[in-house]
Structure 1
Amino acid sequence: MMTCGIADLARAQTTQPAPKAAPKSAAPAANTAAKSAAKPESKPAAPPAAVAGGAEPTLIGQFGTWGAYSATPNGKKVCFALAKPSSSKTNPPNRPRDPAYAFVSTRPAEKVNNEVSVMIGYALKPGSESSVEVGGAAFAMYTQGDGLWIKNAAEEERMVEAMRKSAELVVKGVSAKGTETTDTFSLKGLAQALDKIAQDCRR
């Protein structure tokens, strides 16, 4: 169900690793999130008020393909925009995988604003780097488990601005088994979703 998957993914957003200083707990959290989201619904479901172990995220707005959510795991507010890819390809073709998700997260308690991450839906090749292409620019991504984060944090603001203005985001990765993947995310509605979570997380 999309509801449970989003809840786990929201909690995973609070444990993102930093390049070259990644906590071991981040990868299991990301893997659990991807497995829980294996069969998402086509439209966001209204999450229940709370689940054991943490607050359920609340859908605060849907803008194109991007949903804006807020949650309070462990008493700390987190807001994020989330989308599924509009198209996905594997090479060799038709290799099985869990769904991919792109996030832009804000965590005020950690002074994190508009952090871009991708849960790619499979275990990435250890030590590999992936890339994200948006607005004619390519950004190197640090990988751990099934998660991707921008390698050079100084480029993140430029990346987010490019995402606001561009039509699509293309994510490329290589699995632990050597399968190459390309996921394309529509960016329609992202700018409005980011404005919504910025407004909500100021409260």
Structure 2
Amino acid sequence: MIGKVFVGALVVLLVVAPHLVRAQTPKEIGSYRAWRAYVYNEANGNKVCFMDSEPADTEPKNVRRGQIYTLVTHRPGDKVRDEVSIFVGYPFKEGSTVKVTITDKEFTLFTDADSAWNYDARGDKNMVNAMIKGNVMIVEGRSKRGTNTRDRYSLSGFTAAHKAISKACGVK
């Protein structure tokens, strides 16, 4: 039985491995103050362009967390533009939402494990437009353990990074 499982796993590896090899490592397009822009091709050949930033400040200070960052992604081959995803470095309280404030605009995102997402593409578009016009983005969430967190992102360089990923992916 173990031999059959091994052979099956080997066959799957031989079929899947060539496709994994073709996926590229992201190439940095540029660094724009608080934001960095990247491009890569997925294994299927589709181009992906994204930008990321880490918070300038996090609260509370005495809480251990994993990586904290925000992404804005274009996947033109899948007709995805301006997809916002926020990673907070801890698992969210189940069923909780995240509040994002950009200047005077508030957005409510749903949570999944350690990430937060807009409910639809219109929410992404509205949030990105606010990020282009804003200076600071505040992300507030609640962990599985009940800890409230607040992360402050600088939006300095956001517009330039967004223009760079849009140009790289041919998105208008």
* TM class by smaller structure: 0.7 to 0.9
Cα distance in 2 between the residues matched to 1:186 and 1:120? 16
Whether the 8 Å CA contact 1:140–1:152 is kept in 2: the answer is no
> How many residues get paired?
151
Among 64, 75, 96, the alignment partner of 1:96 is: 64
2:113 aligned partner, one-letter code: G
Work out whether 1:142 is the aligned partner of 2:110: yes
Q: How big is each residue's C-alpha offset from its partner over 1:37-81, in whole Å with a ceiling of 9 and x where there is no partner?
A: xxxxxxxxxxxxxx9573110000110110000111223211011
1:186 matched residue in structure 2:
154
Query: Which amino acid in structure 2 is aligned with residue 160 of structure 1?
Result: V
Determine the structure 1 residue equivalent to 2:48. 78
1:120-159 equivalences under 5 Å are 120-159=88-127
Gaps of 5+ in 2: 1-19
Aligned position for 2:35 = 66
Give the aligned residue type for 1:59. E
CA contact (8 A) 2:30 2:37 kept: yes
* Percent pairwise identity: 34
In structure 1, distance between residues paired with 2:151 and 2:86: 10
d(CA) in 2 for partners of 1:102, 1:71: 18
Output the CA distance in 1 between the equivalents of 2:28 and 2:72: 14
In 1, the alpha carbon distance for the partners of 2:99 and 2:120 equals: 12
Runs of 4+ aligned structure 1 residues displaced above 6 Å come to none
Cα 1:99/1:82, change in 2 over 3 Å = same
CA RMSD of aligned residues (A): 1.7
Measure, in 1, the Cα distance between the counterparts of 2:65 and 2:22: 27
Q: Mean Cα displacement is larger for which, 151-160 or 170-179?
A: 151-160
- Cα deviations by residue, 1:134-154 (Å, 9 ceiling, x for unpaired): 021110001001111113542
**Larger Rg computed on CA atoms:** 2
Structure-2-length-normalised TM-score: 0.82
Unmatched tracts of structure 1, length 5 or more: 1-50
Contact 2:131 2:137 in 1 (8 A): yes
Aligned counterparts of 2:72 and 2:57: Cα–Cα separation in 1 = 19
Would you say the 8 A contact 1:65–1:187 is kept in 2? yes
- CA drift at 1:155: 2.8
Q: Which residue of 2 aligns with 1:164?
A: 132
